Amino acid sequence: MSTEKIDQLFNYVQERCLWQFFSRSWDRQENLDGILKAATELLTGKDPARETPMDRLFYADAKIMVQDFKARFPWLEEAGAAQIRDLMHGLKDRLSEIAITGSLNHELNHTLY
């Protein structure tokens, strides 16, 4: 797994995807899990679930992101399914660290919210 490639994907998400900055940690985690799972499935040729409203929401965000990934990062087309899964897992770990576990925003886990 290439750190440089994860950096490229991470920089894209940081610049363009507001769903990573929802107001609560559980909400951020739910978005990271759902959208990155749908994106991984799209990138590996699978059809993501779209049964529930949340599935459809994750799919819609993932579809746009994957289209941009493919346009901006042509090396993704050459990657195999296992490599894509590894890259997306690395991206998810990095985003979780920045947006959830390493965040200095104390409101993320405030008990009154």
Residues 72 and 13 sit within 8 Å (Cβ to Cβ):
no
Determine the pLDDT at residue 35. 96
Q: What is the CA radius of gyration of the chain?
A: 14
Tens-place pLDDT, residues 78-87: 999 999 999 9
Has this prediction a pTM greater than 0.75? yes
Tokens 């993704």 map to which residue?
Answer: 76
pLDDT score of 65 more than 90:
yes
Tokens 């994957």: give the residue: 66
Mean pLDDT lowest among 12-16, 33-37, 108-112: 108-112
CA-closest candidate to residue 38, choices 28, 27, 54, 49: 49
Tokens linked to 20? 């990573």
